Structure 1
């Protein structure tokens, strides 16, 4: 079951295990599975069998990796999302199968894999690029600084290029040794010189293509407050939302007592569950006011009613001053389908599980920032950390680049699973891409400060009340990735479409008597 082993190698590379080096094995094992199967299959069976192998690899990746989804979405939601994501890897296997004997195989596999991930980031609906190889490399990998130049997809590209080149070296060498009847061994391994050159070149380039993050200039005193200790799947708490907000207030006041107030206090996503400026949520307002008086600025996560409160609301990080007056606001831009809004609600709301989402979160259409003491601050809410384009455009949204990034999230729905660590890995990669510090504030944990090298400080435990505080350095410079954007993603999206279309184009220009399968020799 080489294909399943490939998927498990991807899983092992991510939290909770975090064995990033196993990601290099994933393309090796998938290529071996396709290659072995192609040798035994009839010509017209190779394409569907390759797709099934890729699908199996994807299921072996996403079923265990997304197992935390069972708690909030049930087995059906977990299985459906895993199957959709796995389908992309079926297409990946379909794209690379014709090129198994090509000298360009390593490059083709790297383009196809990276392109598939890039498509997952934008389609279907709002996209869901969870489990991308790049996120596994935030803990100790020499490849991590590549993200400052190419974005995270450059890491994925290099990992797959190295793995595929290693497979090509091994396969070519073994084939040469089997075919050798007499003569020096060197003659048998000569065909492996090209993939060896690709392998060594990729490794060398991945080491050389690194730069240091921009220098810092000044700092901001930031306090992040984590107030949710309710394990809601174990205990039934009356008025849990008010209790959580009260605990956030208490933690904020206690953390600031007897000392200078912080420049910025961060309350995570949905810290105030009901619009405090509405009649329904008016009892939350005194809590907000008391906490605000303890800090020079408070960036509080809350839900604010939309034009029709019955049907929609904004998921907001509201910046208030010491008197709890609003001085800035960030509204979530990319919302989660079937979790935060129902696509085609008119046709789908009859389905009983979807009735748990009676209102849609309204997405903000444009990048925007908040400003704290003349310091532009980029904000990401929850799964927006998954989208490098959201992060980049928010950083660049003001008159000058944001000098700090705040990630506000609530991961309480996923229990004591690997999801919070997988989520924190996304903030770590966003910090490296932009060369900025990230304040990762999670309502139930894990919260942390992330430095521009992807390192973490003051990481909190799950489902505990906690505060973390430090002078956070500010960065005004830019990285190459900030300047040029996701070039790797767009090139590989086009590339994988070309690879998928190649067999059809080839058949159209062949004579009818030529066999149906397409094998490319290089």
Structure 2
């Protein structure tokens, strides 16, 4: 009888020691929070403030978890909710233009979102394992600590950095982008988009720590609350700092938006229409620099009709206009065979016979190169660009008069470290950034607004103006501080004219790239692991 009582008491103790499983609705709420976070990004005005509130609630919700497994699942649910609502426009490219069956395209978006959610899940797990947590009265909850706040910021930043690196990377919807229209914008020039995400996560964790502190004694809430407030104020004040200075004479620029329908772009009728359209748009008025969208000429550069080439070259020489146009590059072998097709920009300088060439370096998986074992997927999509060759990461600048310009194509501008690396490595660092892109693949969706927001972060990080020439939008001029100076309406044919002042000098981010946030995050995680309170095992 005594043995039976002892066994019963032992089972009760074991049950009370084991963490209780969180209900399903806990993860459902996390997914809803992730979906709500999509509204933090463009086109929502002042979305950075919304994101700050959502991240605070998310960290409070994450603090309810009782082990690394539940923390990882909570991060995964949040990430899936964010990505499936934030990159749903991929469905348009696969179904509307790629010809993929609707159920298969929807499943592909869902699976891709589940993959992207691995990274916030990893951040949640690392935070839980590293931080250590003091318990509060509620068995299910954890009391946020200093260790936990800095561990969350560091784990979150490293997770986003890894998402932008693994399998060529897809850093779309990195949390720092929403702060282009938020209070933490000023940190972008110092630590880049991942560093902004680090500050965002830290502020959210400190606010939650302050709120938990109020439940015990007010003085415990005061310090984290003041630090969070100081970071917000610092971000707003830093956005007023100018890290670069004006350099060289301003340029008169014309950015062309052809609005050529994607479904006919690579058909012969579309090719003829594009050539005629861009010949007219280019030659109707001079400018120091004229830029077309990505593959505005949907042909091999060596196959551009002689009449077009003669008209453009004659116009450039006659009006002293430099021209950047998109076409498909190719290397012609000695035996006459074509090889190494590239997504390229070509530059014509008045009075100079040599043609500038930029070959896209960071290619789009499934659109411009086929990852090993996925050729069947590209056949389903039916996109005409298959395996392309890639250019080097840092390529020479294109000079307009004495102003060096760094160019990139399409979604290359979502990789801030690569643009910073280019500026560092150029013999004469560029003073103006140019992005030539074609987002017609994604229709009239939030992808256009999101991409413009991403480009604005590149200007903040580098302290340089950005010129964007797009097929359907957003064609825009972005100032060196990330503000949009002017833009064309989407899905219209038009020309955006502006006068742009280049800059010189380095922001802290151009100097160090992502190294700062990576090193600081790893050090803080190590400190948190070494000095955090005792950790408890859980699920």
Contact kept in structure 1, 2:367 and 2:386, CA below 8 Å: no
User: Structure 1 residues 409, 326: CA separation in 2 closer, same or farther (over 3 Å shift)?
Assistant: farther
1: CA distance between counterparts of 2:522 and 2:536?
Answer: 28
User: Structure 1 residues 236, 150: CA separation in 2 closer, same or farther (over 3 Å shift)?
Assistant: closer
Q: Does 1:71 align with 2:95?
A: no
Q: State the SS of the aligned residue for 2:64.
A: helix
Extract unaligned runs of 5+ from structure 1: 39-45, 177-187
Q: Which residue of 2 aligns with 1:381?
A: 409
Deviation for aligned residue 1:198: 3.1
Contact kept in structure 2, 1:225 and 1:251, CA below 8 Å: yes
Q: Does 1:132 align with 2:159?
A: no
2: CA distance between counterparts of 1:228 and 1:484?
Answer: 38
> Which residue of the other structure, out of 374, 378, 381, is the alignment partner of 1:348?
374
User: Structure 1 residues 289, 160: CA separation in 2 closer, same or farther (over 3 Å shift)?
Assistant: farther
User: Structure 1 residues 310, 409: CA separation in 2 closer, same or farther (over 3 Å shift)?
Assistant: same
Q: Does 1:120 align with 2:163?
A: yes
Contact kept in structure 1, 2:459 and 2:466, CA below 8 Å: yes
Deviation for aligned residue 1:238: 5.9
Alignment of 1:114-513 (within 5 A): 114-123=157-166, 125-139=167-181, 141-174=182-215, 176=216, 188-207=217-236, 209=238, 211-217=241-247, 218-230=249-261, 232=263, 239-254=269-284, 256=285, 261-277=286-302, 281-283=303-305, 285-295=306-316, 296-306=321-331, 312-322=340-350, 325-344=353-372, 347-351=373-377, 352-353=379-380, 356=383, 359-368=386-395, 369-491=397-519, 494=522
Q: State the SS of the aligned residue for 2:53.
A: helix
Q: State the SS of the aligned residue for 2:162.
A: helix
Contact kept in structure 2, 1:312 and 1:359, CA below 8 Å: no
Q: Does 1:8 align with 2:8?
A: no
The two structures have a TM-score, normalised by structure 1, of: 0.84
Deviation for aligned residue 1:227: 0.8
1: CA distance between counterparts of 2:54 and 2:523?
Answer: 20
2: CA distance between counterparts of 1:30 and 1:326?
Answer: 55
User: Structure 1 residues 324, 288: CA separation in 2 closer, same or farther (over 3 Å shift)?
Assistant: farther
Extract unaligned runs of 5+ from structure 2: 1-27, 95-104, 134-142
Contact kept in structure 2, 1:408 and 1:440, CA below 8 Å: yes
2: CA distance between counterparts of 1:228 and 1:314?
Answer: 22
Deviation for aligned residue 1:120: 1.2
Q: Which residue of 2 aligns with 1:61?
A: 82
Contact kept in structure 2, 1:96 and 1:112, CA below 8 Å: yes
Contact kept in structure 2, 1:229 and 1:444, CA below 8 Å: yes
Aligned-pair Cα RMSD in Å = 2.9
The two structures have a TM-score, normalised by structure 2, of: 0.81
2: CA distance between counterparts of 1:250 and 1:414?
Answer: 26
Contact kept in structure 2, 1:115 and 1:495, CA below 8 Å: no
Deviation for aligned residue 1:323: 7.5
2: CA distance between counterparts of 1:361 and 1:424?
Answer: 25
Q: Which residue of 2 aligns with 1:109?
A: 152
Q: Which residue of 1 aligns with 2:25?
A: none
Q: How many residues align?
A: 477
Contact kept in structure 2, 1:65 and 1:131, CA below 8 Å: yes
* Cα offsets for 1:304-335 (capped at 9, x unmatched): 12468777411111111357944311111111
Deviation for aligned residue 1:425: 1.0
Alignment of 1:11-22 (within 5 A): 11-18=38-45, 19-22=47-50
User: Structure 1 residues 467, 436: CA separation in 2 closer, same or farther (over 3 Å shift)?
Assistant: same
2: CA distance between counterparts of 1:447 and 1:152?
Answer: 22
